[in-house]
Chain A
Amino acid sequence: MNPQAIPEEGRPTVKATVSRPSRGPVIDFSPEASCFDIEGLSLAYGDSPALEALTLRVPRHCVTAFIGPSGCGKSTLLRALNRLHDLDETVSHAGRIRLEGQDIHAPEVAVDDLRRRVGMVFQTPNPFPMSIYDNVAFGLRLRGVLTRRRRDDIVEWALTAAALWHEVKDRLRESAWSLSGGQQQRLVIARTLAVEPEVLLLDEPASALDPISTLKIEDLIRSLKGQLTLILVTHNMQQAARVSDYTAFLQQGRLVEYAPTDTLFTNPRLARTENYITGRMA
């Protein structure tokens, strides 16, 4: 939790920039290698603080997992990254979030542009009450992709990327609500991919799904990480271990430990982290 103490020499690739500080629980990436650069972020719902002086950088084109006990502020942090808190007048925040070097709260940043760049998938699958096709095309229509051919192509591409195309290609005109929960969640991912975001935020995307659907989502996450930055919130330690490259452990609105996933799970530096992981693993 002491960013000043961490060397910040910029290096060209993500792997190479992983520097392990001699002391402290936190790794760091150079600003060039990071997608999100969060600096001293504090956030409160009314009077009750949810995040406190959070500082971390999220590497580009990797999967970063946020873990921590329920209510520790994982969702809050995720929602801060695409400014979903803007809707809630009671939320106040301090600190800075940079996306590719630009402050996301800067006046010249249009919030709908930001949200298009930073897609989000929620815990409950939330397809709109429209056909499967219209769900995927929703963001495209907003963006003004109006030629039918182009839209069809993108819809097919997005559904293929979300590993759903073969299951739905013959029923694109059916209601999205006729799909199973796992299919709905992949549809939501496809819908988000269709607007070609740079970042995909996933808030416990598999917690409402059966084991087989969960595995499909995990495969999907792995297959996407070359193309975009993924941030995954999960309660499931095995899942974090299976799919993420880096893991951040949060507790009571603070960042406790942030390390490459295999290090954090096999050799955590702090007893708090170890207790939490072993408790959850058992």
Chain B
Amino acid sequence: MSRLWARRRAAGEGAGAWLAAGSVALSLLLLGSLLTLLAVRGLGHFWPASVALVELDDGRQLAGWTVRELPLPESEGRERLYFTGNRDRDGDVWEWLPVARIAAQTYPPELVVLERRRWGTFIGRLVAVEPGPETPGWESETAAPGDTAWARLAARLAALERLREARETLERETIRPLVRRLEADPEDTAARRALAAASERVAHLRAAMDETTLVLESVDGRRFRQPLVEVLAATRPNALSPLGKLVAWGRGLWRFLSEGPRAANSAGGVWPAIFGTVLMVLLMSLLVTPFGVLAAFYLNEVAHQGRLTRLVRIAVRNLAGVPSIVYGVFGLGVFVYGIGGTLDDWFFEDRLPSPTFGTGGLLWASLTLALLTLPVVIVATEEGLARIPAHQREGALALGATRLEMLSRVVLPMAVPAMLTGVILAVARAAGEVAPLMLVGVAKLAPQIPVDGDFPFLHLDRKFMHLGYHVYDSAFHGDDVQAAMPLVFATALLLVLVILVLNLTAIFLRHHVRTRHAALSRQ
């Protein structure tokens, strides 16, 4: 036995190897379960859940879907949590029910789920689609069979979507240029007239959108009217085929990715946050790379390699360990109040006391994170520079290159992979950073993304949304944290994916640079 053991150790399969392999396996397992949890809890939210019609032992009826089930304290039974929607009618969207009290549970196909701009989800029956609130005698139409009402609702929703697009196009392509013309020349009467006409058309469209009203009925028989403009989406989950559910799931996911948040960040999408995160990280990379690379070149190639340089090097390495909130405070004090305040005094005096650059914004956040990641880039680039063999430099010098030519034509190109490694590490660190951003420019709600068609197109002074902060905000500061929870998971998953994509882009870039000289790894 001991001989076998000895042979194994000789073959490099000792306890150390097992321990190392075990650690790797454990890390992978943790990572895998983290992503699985995020994916299941987050992405599952968009799957159209079947709506149960529950009848209690006392005859009361309610509709909703099961969220979870727990054993009742101090008794045999269990208790189920239903999501029942209809906040405007019930005041609450949750309902705990003891399982023992449920007399029957069915899944009638005619139950509709509406997502509304205000009041959130409606669960119940669609009674009728009304042409307009002023139309007299709408009561008589309530006899219309459910299916036709559903068909009309679908048609109306599509029409509504077209109206919305028409209005947005009008605003983007006609009204905004006119407003800009007027700002430049307030006397331009032609523009003023055109603007008035366009505004009237918009008002007209809006009125057309306001026309339709739905008559809804909750499963316990209460009826009410709902303006269609408020409705964002309508489904009948119980009537959907699996394929239909999949389509609905995809559509829900797409809306999550492409729309702005609603209901104090507890519903709706995260598009502005995705955009803000990516833009800020890109800006940060653009800022940190030249500074970091120049600093590394100075430390490694220019500075006298004495005690002072060594000291600076140690200081830089230690900067990497400073807590990020400290950078946030620094950014607030120096960038926002110091530089931003001065900029406002000099260039934006007419807008004071409301600050332009003297408040948190995209530029200051990117700069703060650039500062935060500077040590990473410096250290990585310096390591890359140190790895470049002396004979490469001497080869260039021996051909009559000056120091500057040697650095720029031989050393710099050879250091590019190391620089990109630094940027990869910087992106990985910066993209997940939330704490400093809270001080220097992230916003709870900034539905207007910082890039648009208005000069100067990229608005560095604007506040922006960030996925990491969005997770924090919707998890702790919404008015219905329970309802926001799935979105928190989905947003967290998205944050991980965005960082992954950003990193993969940089890694791909580095790979591309490396393969240009295929034999680099041989050297």
Contacts and interface: CB of A to CB of B under 8 A. Distances in A.
B135 to A, nearest CB: 76
B10 interface: no
B402 A177 contact: no
A142 B398 contact: no
Nearest to B399: A139
A178 B398 contact: no
A119 B398 contact: yes
Given A129-B517, A175-B517, A195 B395 contact: no
A175 B518 contact: yes
Contact of B410 (A87, A120, A123, A128): A128
B409 A138 contact: yes
Contacts of B395: 122, 126-128, 188
A84 B398 contact: yes
A138 B399 contact: yes
B413 interface: yes
Interface stretch (B198-206, B386-394, B418-426): B386-394
A143 to B, nearest CB: 7
A203 to B, nearest CB: 10
A113 B414 CA distance: 25
Contact of A112 (B392, B401, B520, B522): B401
A126 B399 contact: no
A120 to B, nearest CB: 4
A214 interface: no
Contacts of A191: 399
A234 B517 CA distance: 31
A192 interface: yes
Contact of A192 (B399, B413, B518): B399
A89 B306 CA distance: 12
B400 A177 contact: no
Given A126-B391, A175-B518, A177-B523, A87 B401 contact: no
A231 B398 CA distance: 15
B405 A122 contact: no
Contacts of B396: 128, 138
Contacts of B307: none
Contacts of B519: 175, 177-178
Nearest to B409: A138
Nearest to B416: A129
A140 to B, nearest CB: 9
A192 B520 contact: no
Contact of B400 (A130, A143, A178, A188): A143
Contacts of A192: 398-399
B394 A175 contact: no
Contacts of B516: 129, 175
A82 interface: yes
B399 A177 contact: no
A139 B517 contact: no
Interface string A175-191: 10110000000001001
A126 B389 contact: yes
B420 to A, nearest CB: 15
A139 B520 contact: no
A216 interface: no
Given A128-B395, A177-B522, A112 B400 contact: yes
Interface string B368-411: 00000000000000000000010110111111111001000110
Contacts of B304: 89
B416 to A, nearest CB: 10
A116 interface: yes
B400 A113 contact: yes
A19 interface: no
B400 A128 contact: no
A127 B410 CA distance: 10
Contacts of A127: 395
Contacts of A105: none
B394 A142 contact: no
B398 A82 contact: yes
A76 interface: no
Interface in A117-152: 119-120, 122-124, 126-130, 138-139, 142-143
Interface string A188-227: 1001100100000000000000000000000000000000
A195 B400 contact: yes
Contacts of B523: 177
B522 to A, nearest CB: 7
B516 to A, nearest CB: 7
Nearest to A174: B518
A115 B398 contact: yes
A177 B518 contact: yes
B398 A128 contact: no
Interface string B497-522: 00000000000000000001111101
A113 B394 CA distance: 15
A123 B400 CA distance: 19
A174 to B, nearest CB: 9
A142 B405 contact: yes
A255 to B, nearest CB: 24
B394 A122 contact: yes
Contact of A119 (B391, B392, B399, B518): B399
A86 to B, nearest CB: 9
B392 A128 contact: yes
A82 B397 CA distance: 10
B391 A122 contact: yes
B518 A178 contact: yes
B257 to A, nearest CB: 41
Contacts of A122: 391, 394-395, 398
B399 A116 contact: yes
Contacts of B413: 129-130
A178 B517 CA distance: 8
A193 to B, nearest CB: 11
A115 B518 contact: no
Interface in B287-307: 304
A113 B410 CA distance: 19
A276 B409 CA distance: 43
Contacts of A124: 389, 391
A58 to B, nearest CB: 18
A120 B397 CA distance: 9
A87 B397 contact: yes
Nearest to B304: A89
19 contacts: A84-B394, A89-B304, A112-B402, A113-B400, A115-B400, A119-B399, A120-B398, A123-B391, A126-B389, A126-B395, A129-B413, A129-B517, A129-B520, A130-B517, A139-B399, A139-B401, A175-B518, A191-B399, A195-B399
Interface of A: 82, 84, 87, 89, 112-113, 115-116, 119-120, 122-124, 126-130, 138-139, 142-143, 175, 177-178, 188, 191-192, 195
Given A116-B399, A139-B399, 6 more contacts: A123-B391, A127-B395, A128-B409, A130-B517, A175-B519, A195-B400
Closest 6 CB pairs of A and B: A116-B400, A177-B519, A120-B398, A139-B399, A126-B395, A126-B391
Interface of B: 304, 389, 391-392, 394-402, 405, 409-410, 413-414, 516-520, 522-523
